[in-house]
A and B are shown apart, each in its own frame.
Chain A
């Protein structure tokens, strides 16, 4: 069975602070893919990143960075120097080798205050 846990329901930070969103996943498959999506108030899910299980190299894209650690089954997302426009709900998701469907976590509501 596939499961994604985002333990942080809500996080509030002040603009320019760094913030890390946690994601822990469960799967018995050795081949799987992890995703992060952003859902702004408009409701549309916006793709941020995809990683496969064989690539543990951390990735940085502008102010965004991702830390993938298979040893702890975690795929955490850090926003550096947060901005008000980063305010949204962020979802971590898992697609494993044996499943055809994307399993989402329950999301983390991030609020960045000016």
Chain B
């Protein structure tokens, strides 16, 4: 079974530029997550999709970040314009279940995209 795919793996941009990340979840997984992991910290949830609908985006900085999941499969996360503090690893994860509940579940993570904003 193929895992969660993300691209690109690395991206270097200057502040105020725009950037987009792509995620392809495990086939059949209804729930998709985007996390931001700043160096030395644990991942922080940015947005959660259930199929192509947003379940939780309470920690997404909506003035500069946006995400979509068309057709309930692939997803893109965009930052426009980027700031220095956006330098982090952006992790995508997927799960076959919708938490919480008895089916709470493991999330399967992709390799991440390491973003450096100069």
Residues of A within 8 A of B (CB): 4, 31, 33, 35, 37, 42-47, 50, 52, 91, 93, 95-102, 104-107
Per DSSP, chain B at the interface is: loop
Whether A95 contacts B99 by the Cβ 8 Å rule is yes
A33-B100, A47-B108 known; 15 new pairs, CB 8 Å cut-off, are A37-B109, A43-B112, A44-B112, A45-B43, A45-B93, A47-B106, A47-B107, A50-B105, A52-B104, A95-B99, A95-B100, A99-B100, A101-B45, A104-B43, A104-B44
Q: In the complex the two chains form, what is the Cα distance from A114 to B72 in whole Å?
A: 46
Asked whether any CB of chain A lies closer than 8 Å to the CB of B84, the reply is: no
Using Cβ atoms and an 8 Å threshold, which residues of chain A touch B96? none
Known: A100-B48, A101-B56. A43 touches B100 (CB 8 A): no
C-alpha spacing A46/B96, complex, angstroms: 16
CA distance A100 to B112 in the complex (A): 22
- Chain A residue at minimal CB-CB distance from B3: A44
Mask: chain B, 91-118; 1 = CB below 8 Å from A; 0 = not: 1010000011000111111111010000
Question: Of all chain A residues, which has the CB nearest B110?
Answer: A44
A102 touches B45 (CB 8 A): yes
Picked from B48, B100, B106, B109, the residue with its CB within 8 Å of the CB of A44 is B109
Min C-beta distance of B94 to chain A, whole Å: 12
